[in-house]
Amino acid sequence: MAKSVFITGANTGLGFQIVRALYSSSKEPYYIFVGSRSLANAHNAIEAIKTEFPTSTNTLTPIQIDIEDDTSIQSAYDTISSHVNGKLDVLINNAGAIFDRQIASERELWNKSWSVNTASTQIVTSKFVPLLLQSSDPRLLFITSGTASFAGSANRALKVNQSPETQGWPKPGFLGLPAYRSAKTGLNMLMLEWHRILKEDGVKVFAISPGLLATGLGGDTEFLKRLGAADPSVAGPIIRSVVEGERDGDVGKVLTRDGIQGW
């Protein structure tokens, strides 16, 4: 029987690469729900992946979901539940965004960052947990960031951690990603809480830090490349390895490509 996987924010960037990695896998059959705020974009992503991997026997289904909209979340839940007879094997909370360079209002910036990256992810997870609990091998994944690490914040070699060279306020130039990284640090705690809450239910809970990637996450891929971002395609196999059980010894932790990310 095919393993059912729901990925939010799956029509572009890292989400798209996760879909590619799973759809091209021959290890086991997959029934993949491609979540997107726009059904048209989900369809376009599906057609691109099917064209790239024409011999795959896995299944792709578009799902409209705006993770900030409770009605949209409920509709996605109802659709997926009907397709999988009330059972979901894997939920990958991938949808997220960087607003630090996009929103001028400080209050709006911080509210939006936490709403998209943390609060809405919590609400989606709460809604879909009943479906996960019907699986014989349930997995719950949260896509986090290297910028969320307290230990990593001490690395002054990274541009996001460098201190401004000027005194006074306001300070000119790039001041890092404080709203985004704070929200992702909150997401790490969210993962730990779900690991604690669902431990006796046998749900394997992980956070995955795929590294800095040149996605449209912050609306400026060239800016991310200047920060040293890698091509998003390197991340798909990392997430697939977690879905397929290769990292089960690290449950409840923040996984990187080669090891564990410090808190």
* Chain centre to alpha carbon of residue 218: 14
- Chain position carrying tokens 């779900």: 194
Alpha-carbon gap, residue 94 to 123, rounded angstroms: 13
The letter for the amino acid at 175 is: L
Identify whether 77 is a catalytic site residue: no
Alpha-carbon gap, residue 147 to 155, rounded angstroms: 10
State the catalytic residue, choosing from 145, 149, 204, 253. 145
Identify whether 3 is a catalytic site residue: no
Identify whether 180 is a catalytic site residue: yes
- Chain position carrying tokens 């990695």: 21
Alpha-carbon gap, residue 10 to 182, rounded angstroms: 23
Residue 63: beta bridge partners? 35
State the catalytic residue, choosing from 112, 184, 204, 253. 184
Cβ neighbours for 159, distance < 8 A, ≥ 6 positions apart = 174, 176, 227
Query: DSSP code of 122?
Result: H
State the catalytic residue, choosing from 4, 36, 180, 204. 180
* H-state helical runs in 59-146: 70-83, 106-114, 120-132
Could you tell me if 116 and 186 are in contact, meaning their C-beta atoms sit under 8 angstroms apart?
no
Maximum distance among all Cα pairs of the chain, rounded to whole angstroms: 62
Active site residues: 145, 180, 184
